[in-house]
């Protein structure tokens, strides 16, 4: 479980149109992979974080995230939405959605991931590569290279 993101944590055709629904779908992928031990508990933590401040950022991006006792290992889920999902960004709906899950007692991993991801997402070329990726492995490779420096 050392990989931050794997192909089973990627959905290139996210059907959800509402933020809670999109987050629940991605969290379900994390739970199915054994990275989230209690789906409802984790979703409650994500909703509590989202209630503090929306996690949409400029450029059509949503980054819901939470530290939770229900997370087994730092994990990144990804969904791409054609219709877009409102995550509260001023410029409109998110088409690229990253769900960051971090263990509650863990170090600052999730903040490090969040800041690295945000720094890369300001680059149009990275966003376009994510939008154009043809399969889940391409997403994993992009994140590994651009965010994690692998």
Active-site residues, by number, are: 65
Q: Are the C-beta atoms of residues 103 and 32 closer than 8 Å to each other?
A: no
The tokens for 115 are: 């800041």
The tokens for 52 are: 């503090």
Cβ contacts of 44 within 8 Å, gap of 6 or more: none
Distance CA 110, CA 21 (A): 22
Task: Fill in the DSSP letter of residue 148.
Answer: T
**76 DSSP β-pair partners:** 100
Distance CA 23, CA 78 (A): 10
**97 DSSP β-pair partners:** 62, 79
């Amino acid at each position: 479980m050392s990989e931050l993101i794997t192909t089973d944590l990627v959905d290139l055709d996210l059907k959800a149109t509402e933020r809670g629904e999109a987050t629940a779908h991605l969290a379900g992928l994390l739970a199915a992979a054994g990275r989230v031990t209690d789906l409802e508990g984790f979703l409650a933590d994500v909703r509590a974080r989202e209630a503090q401040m929306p996690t949409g950022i400029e450029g059509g991006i949503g980054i819901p995230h939470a530290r939770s006792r229900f997370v087994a290992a730092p994990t990144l889920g990804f969904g791409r939405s054609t219709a877009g999902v409102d995550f509260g960004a001023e410029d409109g709906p998110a088409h690229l959605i990253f769900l960051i899950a971090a263990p509650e007692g863990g170090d600052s991993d999730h903040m490090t991931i969040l800041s690295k991801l945000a720094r890369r997402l300001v680059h149009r070329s990275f966003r376009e590569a994510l939008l154009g990726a043809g399969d889940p492995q391409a997403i994993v490779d992009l994140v590994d290279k651009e965010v994690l420096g692998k």
